[in-house]
Amino acid sequence: MVRHAFKMKLKPGNEAEYKKRHDEIWPKLAETLREAGISDYAIYLDEETLTLFAVQKQAPGNTAADLPRHPLVREWWDYMAPLMEVNPDNSPVEVILPEVFYLE
Q: Which residues are catalytic?
A: 22
96: nearest Cα among 8, 11, 9: 8
Q: How far is CA 31 from the centre of its chain?
A: 14
Question: In angstroms, rounded to a whole number, what is the distance separating the alpha carbons of residues 79 and 86?
Answer: 11
